[in-house]
Structure 1
Amino acid sequence: MTQNNDLDPTNSLTLNKPIEDDNENATVDFQSDIHANQALILKIKCVNDAIDEIGFTRYHLKLFFLNGFGYAVDSLLLLLNSLTQPQITLQYQPIITTAQTISVGIGLLVGALFWGIGADLIGRRYAFNITLLLCAIFAIATGAAPNFVSVCILISLMAFSGGGNLILDTAVYLEFLPGKYQWSLTFMAAWWGIGQMVASLVAWPFMAMYSCSNKHDCTNTNNSGWRYTFYTLGGFVFILSILRIVVIRMKESPKWLLSQNKDAEVVRIIHEIAQEAGKQSSLTLQQLESFGSVRKTSDIKQYQPMIAIRNIRGLFPNRRMAYSTFLNMSSWALIGLAYPLYNVFLPYYLRSRGAIVGDDSIYTTYRNYAITNVCTIFGPVVAGVLVENHYLGRRYTMSIGALLTMAFLFAYTTVRTAAQNLTFACMISFCLNIYYGTLYAYTPEVLPSEHRGTGNAIIVACNRIMGIVAAVVGMYADLSSNVPIYVCAAAFGGLAFISFLFPFEPRGSTSG
């Protein structure tokens, strides 16, 4: 085959072209900052040009939906815990009232590290195909748990299985995505809201109709709503896991294959995607091989602990990249504290404020919860538009979302009527997900592809650790008071400031 110079990045560096706006200093070609391997940089640019040449295809559309299922399940898991915890605690009266939430946090933490680091060692495809199925199995099993200890164990295993969803779904989708459509990674976070909406709409009738109200008379007979919720949502996730396997034949990430010196497989996959879309790709094996060999960073057949350590070191190749990684870890840690303190304990807040305005019934509490979570869908939709704005980009969109969330959290402490109770809860969920949806997309965009799984794992692990801390705080804090709300508001103020400090702005560029 003859080499086509149109895709030779040494002739035309189309990746990450500088943009003349307020974000110019952050939008310059930062691939040399986040990748230490020059051969890999050139190969990634070549493959990015090939993907851009093909454009957005049916394969990408399938990925958008099937990866979105992982987003939905991740949020569904967190919400499933928060929706059922009050009634499970009421029935079993555990000594540690937030043990269930702590179990979920531990499962998510271990799962994030296991699946994320593993994805850089053996590839993205295997974990992508199995995680949802395991989630479904353990969710259904949790519904049949005979006691509180088994509830905590099974729900922790469920969380472990889903702990890698967030990490893998963003990485897989991003690594196939044409640069022109990279904004859709932010938009894909709308699936997070869809997961919350489904969970709350399923729980609303079950928890309202089949829940006890008195700890002295609370048994499986009159408190089966939480079990029905687990069964139903577990079955729903099982259907999604089957769709992932049946609807799409997952291809291994071309960016990961490049880091493994598997250039021939990369060319084959790119040409398959092009042919399935009725197009042709001019990418050739000679083009990739002309840039030399990329040092292997992992080989599962010759695994040694140093490989994982090397992947971690790859997140800090220079001062600028180390600064970016640190700010990402700080952002995820802060949101890991603020989000659970607000969202996981939202039923308690709604009920306590419902008591203030004269309606704290289980029906009203879960109705408001369902309405609030429907509003979360629209945050990432708005964020998907804002991130492509010439003056805002990813960083300032995050700042706007965080500042609005902080303002409405402070306003939430002044609730005096039922309408205010619901309105402020909805606005907080909407604005919070403008920030969260953008952060979800931003983090993998500024991580090197060869270490993206490990980087996502470590950064999200910071989030999970703080989620456990939030559960401990919730155990000792008075959830009927305004203190947890003030803590959340202050955290979002800090997140807005950190967003201004991020050194990279991916708008207008194609990530490696």
Structure 2
Amino acid sequence: MSNTEKLAVQQTNEEKSHPYDEVSTTTTALDILSMEHTDPVLDAKMRLVNNAIDEIGFTAYQWKMFFLNGFGYAVDSLILLIQGIIASQAALEFHPSYALAMTIAAYVGMLLGAIFWGFSADIIGRRFAFNCSLLFCSIFAIVAGASPNWPVLGLFIALSAFGGGGNLVLDTAVFLEYLPSKDQWLLTLLAAWWGIGQLIAGLFAWAFLPNFSCTDPAVDPSAPPCTRANNMGWRYVWFASGALVFVMSILRITIIHLNETPKYLVGVGRDEQVVETLQSIAHKYNRPCSLTLQQLEACGVTKVSHAKSRASFAEVWLHIRGLYATRRMGISTTLIWFSWTLIGLAYPLYNVFLPSYLKSRGAQFGDTSAYTQWRNYAVINVCGIFGPIPAAYLCATRIGRRGTMVVGGLITMVFFFAYTQVRNDAQNLGFNCAVNFSLNIYYGTLYAYTPEVLPSAHRGTGNGIAIGCNRIMGILSAVIATVADTNTPVPIYICAALYLVMAIVAALFPFEPYGRRSS
């Protein structure tokens, strides 16, 4: 038996006697992919890093990351929803030939952003994207409000989405790679920020659109033509959103000076920086950290997860291949990507086109005022904030991540089917709130589960492709909307069936992170 293998066995025995039973009274917190690694040196070093993070424990550093990384979640949902909110009002001013172009522009931008920032996270590190993505997003969000025509608006929306689209890839990975094992459930709670972003979008719409928008001539033939002068509401929404994102980006840079994550550094063989990073956190918050450079070097030399040229297809292929290093990892990766594909169709059909559906329901119930429409929209999005809270609790119990996704998927399916029986405005609002709450139980857990079960060296790539699959289906949903009537209950039936399939797939995931540590 080699020295590395002996060390791995020794560390496994140490972990079994270590008091990680704060996570589970019967299961020791071993690494999720411990038995899957093809590189025993990397596995041994990852165990040492996880031990050090657990030894330091949860500090104010992680609390800062919870809020600052949460900004990325909020921005992703904010940008995505705003384009759907303002599209119809901007169309009255610009008279486009393709009304759903903004949805496609947003999803194309987010698709490219997820792929670009995801691959860059594994190729050049997490730190660059964490510091730059929100700033990039904010600049083009502000500029979008000054767009002179429909094509330019689409371009700026796509560029803003490109910056925002990388945050879901990076924020979960960065936060996870600093979390002690007993606190990994917080990754699910982080998804509450997604609902906060939705709420901000709803509040901006409620504040600006009823008071600063022109009237649709189709509704009131005597209304004057829509011009920039009498239709500034949708521009104000973009200005306010871009300014808010800009403030968030500055806070991310100034409040926390993010070091490269220890697990990324381990994967690229920079052991000395791993020790420096963890020791600096321990020193700053007066916590113990017994990790030394000698311990890491004793494990051997890590196979660096990079090709000869990082700017090459070989580098990309190396990271994709790393996600299929073993049979179980390959099955896990495929099922994760499939789940993101399914929810990528279900979520836009319900949420991106929710304003038009709410409008049709309002007309049926006798209330078509913009004030009521956007007030209800804000109320619905408030409910989405609280979905990840019970999800986080369930993830920290024996139900685990897979069980929580099954519960969330099935409850959402039931509410979707029940929604078809809505007959008045109060029921319409109530069921929308219930659906938004329950689907975030599933969605929030999937966001957390994905990086937890991916290997650190390829986490950005796997996460980026997963979210890329989601965005592709978002584009497809916009195409579907051009040939299908989204004002009918048909999308509801489709969404219900998709959530049932998602629940089944969740039950088939081969890894359960409960009581385990991310690798």
Match of 1:332 in 2: 340
* Residues in 2 aligned to 1:359 and 1:456: alpha-carbon distance in whole angstroms: 42
Match of 2:147 in 1: 145
Match of 1:363 in 2: 371
Q: Deviations over 1:186-206 (max 9, x none)?
A: 011111111111111111120
Which of 238-247 and 355-364 deviates more?
Answer: 355-364
* Residues in 1 aligned to 2:32 and 2:359: alpha-carbon distance in whole angstroms: 48
* Residues in 2 aligned to 1:8 and 1:48: alpha-carbon distance in whole angstroms: 15
Q: Deviations over 1:66-100 (max 9, x none)?
A: 10111111111111112111212232222211110
Answer yes or no: is 1:501 the counterpart of 2:503. Answer: no
Q: Deviations over 1:430-453 (max 9, x none)?
A: 001011000000000000000000
Aligned residues between the structures: 504
Q: 1:126 aligns with which of 125, 128, 133?
A: 128
Preserved CA contact (<8 Å) 1:122 1:299: no
Match of 2:420 in 1: 413
Q: 2:384 aligns with which of 363, 376, 381?
A: 376
Answer yes or no: is 1:489 the counterpart of 2:470. Answer: no
Q: 1:378 Cα shift?
A: 0.2
Structure 1 residue runs without a partner (length 5+)? none
Preserved CA contact (<8 Å) 1:353 1:415: no
Match of 2:51 in 1: 49
Name the CA shift for 1:221/1:255 in 2 (closer, same or farther; >3 Å).
same
Match of 1:318 in 2: 326
Q: 1:301 Cα shift?
A: 6.8
Q: 1:295 aligns with which of 303, 318, 328?
A: 303
**Residue identity matched to 2:348:** P
* Residues in 2 aligned to 1:469 and 1:408: alpha-carbon distance in whole angstroms: 24
Q: 1:252 aligns with which of 260, 285, 290?
A: 260
Match of 2:281 in 1: 273
**Residue identity matched to 1:496:** A
* Residues in 1 aligned to 2:194 and 2:227: alpha-carbon distance in whole angstroms: 33
Q: Which runs of 4+ in 1 moved over 6 A?
A: 5-8, 15-21
Preserved CA contact (<8 Å) 1:254 1:269: yes
Match of 2:4 in 1: none
Name the CA shift for 1:210/1:326 in 2 (closer, same or farther; >3 Å).
same
Match of 1:478 in 2: 485
Q: Deviations over 1:135-160 (max 9, x none)?
A: 11000000000000000000000011
Match of 2:246 in 1: 238
Preserved CA contact (<8 Å) 1:267 1:283: yes
SS in 1 for 2:475: helix
**Residue identity matched to 1:389:** T
Q: 1:302 Cα shift?
A: 5.3
Q: 1:360 Cα shift?
A: 2.0
SS in 2 for 1:218: coil
**Residue identity matched to 2:375:** R
Match of 2:220 in 1: none
Q: 1:7 Cα shift?
A: 12
Structure 2 residue runs without a partner (length 5+)? 1-6, 218-223
* Residues in 1 aligned to 2:65 and 2:284: alpha-carbon distance in whole angstroms: 14
Preserved CA contact (<8 Å) 2:138 2:243: yes
Name the CA shift for 1:130/1:257 in 2 (closer, same or farther; >3 Å).
same
**Residue identity matched to 2:518:** S
Indicate the percent of aligned positions where both proteins have the same amino acid.
53
**Residue identity matched to 1:491:** L
Which of 145-154 and 10-19 deviates more?
Answer: 10-19
Preserved CA contact (<8 Å) 2:188 2:447: yes
Which of 187-196 and 404-413 deviates more?
Answer: 404-413
Match of 1:228 in 2: 236
**Residue identity matched to 2:70:** G
Match of 2:78 in 1: 76
SS in 2 for 1:293: coil
SS in 2 for 1:186: helix
Match of 1:167 in 2: 169
Q: 1:300 Cα shift?
A: 8.8
Preserved CA contact (<8 Å) 1:137 1:238: yes
Match of 2:458 in 1: 451
**Residue identity matched to 2:428:** N
* Residues in 2 aligned to 1:421 and 1:275: alpha-carbon distance in whole angstroms: 54
Answer yes or no: is 1:193 the counterpart of 2:195. Answer: yes
Which of 485-494 and 429-438 deviates more?
Answer: 485-494
* Residues in 1 aligned to 2:403 and 2:162: alpha-carbon distance in whole angstroms: 33
* Residues in 2 aligned to 1:304 and 1:239: alpha-carbon distance in whole angstroms: 35
Match of 1:439 in 2: 446
The 5-angstrom pairing of residues 456-471 of structure 1 reads 456-471=463-478
Preserved CA contact (<8 Å) 2:309 2:315: no
Match of 1:90 in 2: 92
* Residues in 1 aligned to 2:406 and 2:277: alpha-carbon distance in whole angstroms: 38
Q: Deviations over 1:202-250 (max 9, x none)?
A: 1112011112222472221221110000000100000000000110100
The 5-angstrom pairing of residues 193-212 of structure 1 reads 193-212=195-214
Q: 1:299 Cα shift?
A: 7.0
Match of 1:306 in 2: 314
Preserved CA contact (<8 Å) 2:306 2:318: no
The 5-angstrom pairing of residues 23-34 of structure 1 reads 30-34=32-36
